[in-house]
Amino acid sequence: MQGVLLASHGKMAKGIAHSITMFFGNDINQFDYECFMPEDNIKEFQKRIIDKVNNLDTGDGVIILLDIFGGTPAQALIPCINGKNLILSGMNFPMTIQALTSRQEHIVSKKELISCGKTAIQSYEPNDEKEPEDSFFG
């Protein structure tokens, strides 16, 4: 099973990880987060995040979800680009749920997570005649 690591500037990754416990409970195997804070030393941050990737990888690689492309967390993960780890930017809550759910059944692909992340972006307008797909409110 693939590990899942969330990484962000500030506490975004921690916030998503905390919210995930409402769906999966407090004891989630091979799941962690790392936050790059203003006071962090870049080299120390890189060591922490690479250590987490190595600890989460039990053979199938790690799905690493990042807040933005090209930021410090992404640059710190350059040594982890190896064809086995999946590193994606644009992390959102539905994408994280998809990664944690699907990894139990199959190796999760970037196409699957990108599609999920895009599909999760919806607009709610007062005059919309159509309901959001798969609405659980109605």
Would you state the structure tokens that stand for residue 49, as one six-digit string?
């995040």
Count Cβ atoms below 10 Å from residue 113 Cβ, excluding itself. Answer: 23
**Average pLDDT value over all residues in the chain:** 93
Q: What is the pLDDT of residue 4?
A: 98
Each residue's pLDDT, cut to its tens digit, for the chain (138 residues) gives 999 999 999 999 999 999 999 999 999 999 999 999 999 999 999 999 999 999 999 999 999 999 999 999 999 999 999 999 999 999 999 999 999 999 999 999 999 999 999 999 998 888 766 665 655 555
Count Cβ atoms below 10 Å from residue 112 Cβ, excluding itself. Answer: 16
Q: What is the pLDDT of residue 126?
A: 83
Q: What is the pLDDT of residue 135?
A: 58
Distance CA 2, CA 21 (A): 18
HSE (CB half, 13 Å, CA atoms) of 103? 27
Count Cβ atoms below 10 Å from residue 46 Cβ, excluding itself. Answer: 19
Name residue 88's beta-bridge partners. 65
Q: What is the pLDDT of residue 100?
A: 97
DSSP letter, residue 85: S
Q: What is the pLDDT of residue 127?
A: 74
User: Which domains, ranges and CATH numbers included, belong to the chain?
Assistant: 3-117 (3.40.50.510)
Q: What is the pLDDT of residue 10?
A: 98
Query: Whole-model pTM?
Result: 0.89
Would you state the structure tokens that stand for residue 94, as one six-digit string?
């539905």
- The 3-state DSSP class for residue 32 equals strand
